[in-house]
């Protein structure tokens, strides 16, 4: 039996950073192709005690749109991973941003965000409809 291969395999953007105590940072990744963001997760280490917040945005320059969580909020957890489904188009040269704030005055924390995407130019109409139904 031959394993099936996806015609349009997902790729991943890996954001990982140690955020110093009482610090906020913004990580970014510039897309090198038109793509559709499909899913991702935000991972918080033990000891973060909901003092580390994260959110994901897309855009360019000062025109950014928050894509998770909704309502311009942040996610702040402890020893947990927050998974999410997306159906967000991004154009070549647009950026994906992860904003992270560490309100812990004593400790740095290493956090991760991984965002999956597919090449939008090769995604079939059927695949696009399936993703929209899942979202």
Residue 7: is its pLDDT beyond 60?
no
Distance CA 60, CA 30 (A): 9
Tokens of 15: 């954001």
Give the C-alpha separation, 38 to 17, whole Å. 22
- The reported pLDDT for the residue numbered 4 is 45
pLDDT at 3 over 50: no
Q: What is the pLDDT of residue 2?
A: 42
As a 3-state breakdown, the chain gives helix, strand, coil percent values, each rounded to 5, of 10, 55, 35
CATH for 11-134, among 2.160.20.10, 3.40.50.1370, 2.60.120.510, 1.10.10.60?
Answer: 2.60.120.510
Residue 16's alpha-carbon distances to 54, 71, 87, 112, in angstroms, are 12, 24, 22, 4
**pLDDT tens-digit series, residues 83-125:** 999 999 999 999 999 999 999 999 999 999 999 999 987 655 5
Whether 39 contacts 85, CB under 8 Å: yes
The Cα 38–Cα 49 span in angstroms is 28
pLDDT in tens, 41-72: 999 999 999 999 999 999 987 899 999 998 88
Q: Which two tokens stand for residue 111?
A: 């956090």
């Amino acid at each position: 039996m031959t394993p099936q291969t996806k015609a349009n395999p997902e790729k991943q953007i890996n954001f990982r950073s140690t955020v110093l105590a009482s610090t906020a940072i913004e990580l970014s990744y510039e897309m090198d192709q038109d793509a559709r963001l499909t899913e991702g997760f935000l991972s918080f280490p033990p000891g973060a005690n909901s003092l580390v917040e994260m959110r994901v945005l897309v855009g360019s320059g000062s025109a950014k749109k928050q894509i998770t969580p909704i309502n311009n909020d942040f996610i702040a957890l402890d020893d947990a991973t927050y998974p999410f489904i997306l159906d967000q188009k991004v154009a070549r040269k647009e950026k994906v941003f992860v904003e992270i704030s560490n309100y812990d005055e004593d400790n740095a924390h290493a956090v991760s965000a991984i965002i999956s995407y597919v090449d939008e130019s090769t995604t079939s109409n059927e695949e696009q409809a399936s993703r929209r139904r899942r979202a």
